[in-house]
A and B are shown apart, each in its own frame.
Chain A
């Protein structure tokens, strides 16, 4: 894998529908060869439009898309070195599984034993060997998706595009298919670009994720960076759960920030040097928040509140403390032993605390 060569370069692409609707706004992205890349965002954020522009079904209003170094303006979908797995799978209902997978080669003139061999190979890759004679209406949803995958992969594209590949599957199958897609991507070594609205799906599968909101890319980062170092309130809130407070920077030293936070008070955190804006978001993840009966001591940011709700979820419990003035903080506790006893009851006065280094300062 060559880190330096992007297989896809999206250069300042904007897509407008009509006069007023901006679906994608000035997006610049580079997707590396051999990467598992996810476009993540809520519905209507423009991620599917962006994917469709890569496939050639939509044409950018402004900007240029390069695939494998070639500008794609004016290149029809059937001439692009990419293939797509559609959300509905779009398996041709009147063809057998074999004919579905063979179709892409048939129309481009690959025939005879080579075609047969490649189809068999692709079906084996998606664990559908022996299903060639079946019609799509004899397959389950998961099997149809495998047909769609085989049909795209058999073309040996430079990039495989997947539009919400797992949204139509039930929970168990979805989890298995996540693993399957990652395994498949490692086997074939093709760049995967997957569109999803499910953050856990993106986190568990992708090498890098671009988070989109209202047509713009908010952040591009590997999953762990995205989770631990979100750069905006939107990303922090969209990826995982977050306790978010509003605050003001009171004093900015080179490596420490003093903040006045609504509902908490004045706190001091290690901050990025030179951050001196007025209003910031101050955030901490629930699983990094601890609950204790006594003040946890120095080095911790601590705040007292009343237990408002306890939600038992089997593997973990969520506790919500009411901090007064409408402010709340949530903490996640692992039920790491069968005998873990509940630490709190509703109405108890407890301390929520976290390490100063776990505080996120969000300027956007």
Chain B
């Protein structure tokens, strides 16, 4: 009796040596993990690797070099486009976060006639095809006669406005979702303790919304930074952003210079995201 049960025990152990929660030891799960990882990062790794390729045509590997980074840094057009893109992204992110947070609070806090249609139309830019937004912006700025040829950074105004209009609804959605879990008694407690409405907003609401503001801001920043379609339609003849510049460079040939510039952009965005997440984790307590 005892020997049979011991035998069963050992057989079970050797045959099904992978426990029910040992996911990482199952072959098919490993394959899925590796497959998705390759799918996500193989193109990016290739891009970065070939930025060091010592070849103008950039099709076969010819040896390691840093000269295309040097070349990209000395390409004034590229640097200007890069600075333009960052400026647009920063300004449109700040405005989008403020506008989006205000819309979120408005929709969360108040009940007013026409609220549902209002909410629907505010969120519409999320689903409108970019090409339609681009054409609409082009037509709009042409119709109102938006001044061209202004000095930097005012010449970026139309692009910034266009970027704000498609990115602030994302902020609103994220902040709204965050606010849904807000305990109204926290607000009342602050009022009860003597805080004015503004102090309550500053000391209680904003700290609570912060994760939503950061997440929404990151979304808005990346959306703005890599937007091509809408920017292409709204940028004047003398304003070029990074994606538009890269596009125009690629039309002639895919040189390692493009790879190098893109690598720098990837590093900048990853760095900024990491900083934002680190800031958020440092200041944000666990929810209660």
Interface, chain A (partner B; CB < 8 A):
55-57, 76-79, 82-84, 86-88, 90-94, 103-104, 107-108, 135-137, 148, 151-152, 155
Contacts and interface: CB of A to CB of B under 8 A. Distances in A.
Interface of B: 183, 185-186, 188-196, 199, 203-204, 207-208, 283-288
Interface of B is mostly: helix
Nearest to A157: B192
Given A86-B185, A94-B208, A77 B191 contact: yes
Contact of B287 (A76, A84, A93, A108): A93
A78 to B, nearest CB: 5
A87 B194 contact: no
A107 B285 CA distance: 22
A104 B288 contact: no
B241 to A, nearest CB: 37
Nearest to A83: B192
A92 B189 contact: yes
7 contacts: A83-B193, A90-B183, A93-B285, A93-B286, A104-B195, A107-B196, A137-B286
Given A92-B186, A103-B203, A78 B194 contact: yes
A-B CB proximity, top 5 nearest:
A104-B193, A90-B189, A90-B185, A94-B207, A107-B195
Contacts of A155: 193-194
Contacts of B285: 93-94, 135-137
A136 B188 CA distance: 18
Nearest to A163: B185
A78 B284 contact: no
Nearest to A80: B192
B192 A136 contact: no
A78 B183 contact: no
Given A78-B191, A79-B194, A107-B203, 7 more contacts: A78-B193, A94-B207, A103-B193, A103-B195, A103-B203, A104-B194, A135-B285
A151 B193 contact: yes
Given A88-B183, A93-B285, A93-B288, A76 B207 contact: no
Contact of B189 (A76, A86, A136): A86
B212 to A, nearest CB: 14
B196 A55 contact: no
Most chain A beta-carbon contacts within 10 A, residue among B191, B194, B196, B287:
B194
Given A92-B204, A93-B288, A77 B185 contact: no
A55 B192 contact: yes
B192 A103 contact: no
B186 A90 contact: yes
Nearest to B204: A92
Contacts of B208: 93-94
Contacts of A137: 285-286, 288
A78 B195 contact: yes
B183 A57 contact: no
Nearest to B183: A88
Nearest to B210: A94
A18 B71 CA distance: 71
A177 B199 CA distance: 32
